[in-house]
A and B are shown apart, each in its own frame.
Chain A
Amino acid sequence: MKVVSLRSDVQAEPAALPGVAPAMAMIHIDHVSQRFQTSGRQSHLALSDINLTIEDGAFVSILGPSGCGKSTLLYIVGGFVQPSDGAAKVKGKVITGPGPDRGPVFQEFALFPWKNVLGNVMYGLRQQGVKKTDAEAKSRKLLEMVGLKGYENFYPKELSGGMKQRVAIARTLAYNPAVLLMDEPFGALDAHTRTRLQNDLLTIWERDRKTVLFVTHSVEEAVFLSDKVVVMTRSPGSIKVVVDIDLPRPRKRAELLLDPRYQKYVVDIEKLIDDTGEDEIHA
């Protein structure tokens, strides 16, 4: 059942970014619940009555312990999973399936192994009917931007995890989705690679300010990257609180780590999660 509702009893507006006009809602999640059939005839409530509005150009992280349904919420926005109740909307239109306006980046990379790096990045563009020479030129530029110049002819199996994820990000950026849906994109990477990719993602994002929905279970990662951090609780997954991260941009890791405001955000949010009495929170 999809309930189309015009109510706007949603989360607090984020602190307006200096110099940015009041943003329109890019994503609107309206009373979304998700039930899964488990073995036997029982059903498990994975998400319970989620309401969330994400403005155009905002970087929003969803933070929570594993099993809180945060990825499911992202899949619903992606159109990969249909909610049992409620509706998710992008630019005011109810989401009924995947589309090139919402580009996913998965923890598992999900590259096409039979295509080389360039072929992977070009794939979406060619699908959109872009001419081969144009698609190739744009893909080469994107690969340069993510630091993979010279790797165009490599196959995914020949790349490290960090490089694979760079390809996956370039592949998604290539078809220029309005929203980036990132599902624990750096979760499978070692700490060093993870830090570098966070920095690079932030640089890219600060340049073209796409709307980003970023699922993670790392508090530091969420605070470092986001305008808003949505803290979720487990069983059933619901929004506990939305924290506005009022830290200046562009953000520099070296400065931020020493910034008491950053440290306070991290500690406060960790406490919030601790309150839910869950384990295995930290990355």
Chain B
Amino acid sequence: MITPGAALSKSAPLLACIGLLCAWQVASLALQTESFPTALEAIRAVPSILGDKESLVNIGASIRRMAIGLSLAVLFAIPLGLLMGRIKGVASFFNPLLMIIYPVPKAALMPIIMLWMGVGDMSKTLVIFLGVSLPIIYHSFQGGKAVEEKMLWSGAAMGLSAPQRMLRIVLPAALPEILTGCRTGLVLALITMVTSEMIARQSGAGNILFNALDMAQYDTVFAMIIIIGAMGILFDAAFEKLRGWLVRWSKPQHDMPLSFS
């Protein structure tokens, strides 16, 4: 038996989406501006983008850069964050460096990176890597720092060496926190991906969007926004599934806001 209340809370996200689209539709009809197509027009433009081979290649290239940038960031940021969390010297060395990098919008580095590396995949992937690394470092650091000392002592008594304790106790113990960072990183990767393509206009989902804007194809612009948003929701939901499975042993942390999974 599903109670009306439960049914309502289950369908709430869907209702919210529909509500947003309705509001959009009404606002657009009321404003009657050329640059603000109705929700229906935008949705109608989605299949034509997804049916176009070149668009798909572009979106595929975007996703590939995002995946590579994110993977490199994960491989770099988790060990660094954990080492910072466990070894004071490492933290004192890297902390000031990260403090300087932290407030700089990574996309602002794009022009310089383009100057050095061109407008190709390399510079865009690098920007994604930079954008994503910081939250993962931060959460890995927090997670590593919070590992119970007695747990490490228990491991040491069993004969685990310091590197073994790092890999086999600190890493799994900090995993819930690390994955929280990775989730933030995933969304940031998507954002940085679009931003980098906005600056280095060569290929990708962002490029389709801004080309359409240049050509005043506003329905395509909004359709691309819908597609990119849907990609974000999809990636996030898939990641949440994976995360839930990886840390099924962990005490449920408070639910994060903004989850469609």
Question: B153 contacts A124, CB within 8 Å?
Answer: no
B61: A residues at CB distance < 8 A: none
Q: Can you list, as one digit per residue, whether each of B149-161 has a CB less than 8 Å from chain A (1) or not (0)?
A: 0110110111110
Interface of A is mostly: loop
A147 proximal to B (CB < 8 A): no
| Inter-subunit contact A112/B157 (CB<8 Å) | no
B249 within 8 A of A: yes
Count the A-B residue pairs with Cβ separation under 8 angstroms: how many? 69
A-facing residues in B154-179 (Cβ within 8 Å): 154, 156-160, 169, 172-173, 175
Q: CA separation between A119 and B249, bound complex, in Å?
A: 12
Interface residues of A in 68-105 (CB under 8 A from B): 75, 78-80, 97-100, 102-104
Give A264 Cβ to nearest chain B Cβ, in Å: 36
Give 1 or 0 for each of A235-270: 1 = CB within 8 Å of chain B CB: 000000000000000000000000000000000000
- Pick from A78, A108, A111, A114: contact of B157, CB under 8 Å: A78
A128 touches B159 (CB 8 A): yes
Interface 1/0s, chain A 150-190, versus B by CB < 8 A? Answer: 00000111000000000000011001010000000000000
Q: How far is the CA of A81 from the CA of B249 in the complex (A)?
A: 31
| B153 lies within 8 A of A98 (CB) | yes
Query: In the complex, what residues of A have CB within 8 A of residue B169's CB?
Result: 112
Asked if A110 and B160 sit within 8 Å, CB to CB, the answer is no
Residue-wise, chain B 109-137 has the 8 Å CB interface mask toward A (1 for contact) of: 00000000000000000000000000000
Closest A residue, CB atoms, query B248: A155
Pairwise interchain contact A114-B172, C-beta atoms closer than 8 A? yes
Q: Contact partner of A106 among B154, B156, B247, CB < 8 A?
A: B154
The answer on a CB contact under 8 Å between A114 and B158 is no
A102: B residues at CB distance < 8 A: 157
Least CB distance from B28 to A in Å reads 50
Q: Does A67 contact B (CB under 8 A)?
A: no
A96 to chain B, nearest CB (A): 12
Which chain A residue shows the least CB distance to B247? A114
State the CA gap A111–B138 with chains docked (Å).
Answer: 25
Interface string of B237-261 (1 = CB under 8 A from A): 0000000000111110000000000
Task: For B153, give its contact among A110, A113, A156 (CB under 8 Å).
Answer: A110
Contact B150 A99 (CB under 8 A): no
A residues within 8 A CB of B159? 99-100, 124, 127-128
Q: For A103, give its contact among B151, B157, B160, B173 (CB under 8 Å).
A: B157
Most central of B151, B172, B247 by chain A CB within 10 Å: B151
Interface assignment of B54: CB less than 8 Å from any CB of chain A = no
Please state if A157 and B251 are interface contacts (CB–CB under 8 Å).
yes
Kindly list chain A residues whose C-beta atoms are within 8 Å of the C-beta of B160: 127
Interface size class of B (residues with CB under 8 A): 10 to 19
Q: Indicate whether B148 reaches chain A with its CB closer than 8 angstroms.
A: yes
Question: Do residues A113 and B249 form an inter-chain contact, with CB atoms below 8 A?
Answer: yes
User: Which has the most chain B C-beta neighbours within 10 Å: A78, A100, A114, A155?
Assistant: A114
Q: How far is the CB of B138 from chain A (nearest CB, A)?
A: 22
User: How far, in angstroms, from A114 to B250 measured CA to CA in the complex?
Assistant: 7
What CA separation (Å) do A128 and B148 show in the bound complex? 23
Contact between chains at B251 and A78 (CB < 8 Å):
no
A-chain residues with CB within 8 Å of residue B251 when the two chains form the complex? 113, 157
Residues of chain A lying within 8 A (CB to CB) of residue B173: 112-114
Bound Cα distance from A174 to B249, whole angstroms: 23
Q: Contact: B158 with A124, CB < 8 Å?
A: yes
Indicate whether A123 reaches chain B with its CB closer than 8 angstroms: yes
- Given the known inter-chain contacts A113-B173, A113-B250, please indicate yes or no for A100 contacting B158, CB distance below 8 A: yes
Interface contact A106-B150, CB-CB below 8 Å: yes
A114 & B175 in contact (Cβ 8 Å cutoff): yes
Contact A112-B153, Cβ < 8 Å, known A100-B158, A127-B159 = no
Cβ–Cβ < 8 Å partners of B150 in chain A? 104, 106, 108, 110
Return chain A residues, CB-CB under 8 Å to B157.
78, 98-100, 102-104, 124, 172, 177
CB-contact partner of A104 in B154, B248, B250, under 8 A: B154
Q: Please give 7 more A-B residue pairs, beta carbons under 8 A apart, in addition to A97-B156, A106-B150.
A: A98-B157, A100-B157, A103-B157, A112-B169, A114-B172, A114-B249, A157-B249
Using a CB–CB distance below 8 Å, which chain A residues touch chain B? Answer: 75, 78-80, 97-100, 102-104, 106, 108, 110-116, 123-124, 127-128, 155-157, 171-172, 175, 177
User: What 4 A-B pairs have minimum CB-CB distances, sorted nearest first?
Assistant: A110-B150, A98-B156, A124-B158, A114-B172
